[in-house]
Amino acid sequence: MEEAQYEIDLGNLMAFDQHHQFASPPASREEIVKETIEQATKLVQAVADALFSLPSTEDPDGPLVKLPEPTTKLPREKPLPKPRPPTQWEVFAKQKGIQKRKKEKMAYDEQTGTWKRLHGYDRVNDDNDIPIIEAKATDEPGTDPFAERRKEKKSRVDKQEGNRLKNLKNAQKAGALPSHIQLAATALPITGTQSQPKRVSKDVLQNVAGMAATATASGGKFDKKLPGEKPLKHEKKYRKYLPAVEGSGMGAIEKQQTENVLNRLMSKHSHQILNVEKAVNMHNVKKEKNQRRQGGQSSNSGKFKANKKSFKKTSKKGPSSSSKGKSK
């Protein structure tokens, strides 16, 4: 009789007594516990009555019972997965009524006379296994048929990869991307150039930023920092101070440096320090620009020509060197 007033959810093994009320406010803890145990035993017994009357199958570990669905509705953890939209091929196949059929994994290879896998490494009709391709009348001379085959294969693979990406994009739009796949943006689309810029790492960027900062006279000391910008790794300019005191070792370095510069200027081959060709080019370009600005008159007459010979002592140099050679 009492069982009827309990609400029982067998799927959750739950029983709920909707009618129980404490007759008087319970005085002590023990009283509450005692009352609870008494009521709970009744409830559990009611669940057990329903549970043990279910048809059971014997198992070595104990009787197994098939539980019904829980009647108390509880929220899901995650949204329901959405069905994947059909791929381009699946749409086409349905339209044409193409049925999927199983293929054998192995096939007989006539070239080698053995059974081989249909796909993958060491497969049937592998391009790598073909030693000779017979020439046809239509063949153009000068083309490598092997290279052509390889190119064709590569283009097929690339096309398939493109199709795959397209299908995945569609799936993403429908919110049904496979759980293990993400579509990540590599870079913004670049128009005009074929090659993509290399990804610059964080460290490299930091270094460049540091270098740019040191370009100011204060070495970036008074520059405003961007939010989140870290302090520079090297705050000041790289500068070497040589010891002021003269002597041997480190002390002699300053003297050596000045001597080096002087020697280069004074030496016989000092003209080689100057890149005459470049200087002449620059001069010509500048001149041309000026002329264009003035009125677009084209004149080749004013152009210098780079002289291979040096300006210095041109007349004397030749004979003197020859005389030297003679004297020796």
Partner 1 sequence: MIRIKAPKNGRIKRELEKRAPKLVETGKKTLILHGTKTSSVLNSVLTEIHHLKKDNSIKYSRRNDKIRPFESGGETSLEFFSLKTDCSLFVFASHTKKRPNNLVLGRFYDHHIYDLVEVGIENFRSMGSFSYDKKLAPQLGSKPFFAFIGEAFESVDELKHLKEVLLDLFRGEVITNLNLAGLDRVYVCTALSPNRIFFSHFALRLKKSGTKVPRMELVEVGPSMDMVVRRHRQPDDSLRKEAMKMAPDSTKKKEKNVVKDDILGKLGKIYIPDQKVGSVPLANKSKGVKRERREAKVAKGDGDKATTPKKQKKEDSE
d(CA 106, CA 59): 44
Kindly state the smallest distance separating residue 201's Cβ from partner 1, in Å. 18
74 makes contact with partner 1 (CB under 8 A): yes
170 makes contact with partner 1 (CB under 8 A): no
End-to-end CA distance of the chain: 136
3-state secondary structure of 15: strand
- Phi, psi (5° rounding) for residue 117? -70, 150
Copy the structure tokens of residue 272: 């080689």
- Residue whose CB is less far from partner 1, 54 or 306: 54
Binding residue for partner 1 (CB under 8 A) from 63, 243, 251, 318?
63
Computed over its alpha carbons, how large is the radius of gyration of the chain? 45
d(CA 84, CA 19): 49
- Residue whose CB is less far from partner 1, 38 or 104: 38
Kindly state the smallest distance separating residue 123's Cβ from partner 1, in Å. 24
Copy the structure tokens of residue 104: 């054998």
- Residue whose CB is less far from partner 1, 81 or 319: 81
44 makes contact with partner 1 (CB under 8 A): yes
323 makes contact with partner 1 (CB under 8 A): no
198 makes contact with partner 1 (CB under 8 A): no
79 makes contact with partner 1 (CB under 8 A): yes
DSSP string, 267-304: SGGGGGGS-HHHHHHHHHHHHHHHHHHHT----STT--
Question: Which residue, 86, 105, 107, is CA-closest to 95?
Answer: 86
Kindly state the smallest distance separating residue 5's Cβ from partner 1, in Å. 11
169 makes contact with partner 1 (CB under 8 A): yes
* Binding piece for partner 1, criterion CB under 8 A, among 120-128, 139-147, 187-195, 252-260: 187-195
* Binding piece for partner 1, criterion CB under 8 A, among 15-23, 108-116, 197-205, 311-319: 15-23
Kindly state the smallest distance separating residue 181's Cβ from partner 1, in Å. 5
d(CA 69, CA 263): 98
62 makes contact with partner 1 (CB under 8 A): yes
20 makes contact with partner 1 (CB under 8 A): yes
Strand-strand pairing, 14-17 and 6-9: antiparallel
194 makes contact with partner 1 (CB under 8 A): no
Greatest alpha-carbon pair distance for the chain in Å reads 139
Q: How many residues does the chain have?
A: 328
* Binding piece for partner 1, criterion CB under 8 A, among 162-170, 253-261, 299-307, 320-328: 162-170
Per DSSP, 4 falls in state G
Binding residue for partner 1 (CB under 8 A) from 22, 121, 238, 241?
22
199 makes contact with partner 1 (CB under 8 A): no
26 makes contact with partner 1 (CB under 8 A): yes
3-state secondary structure of 264: helix
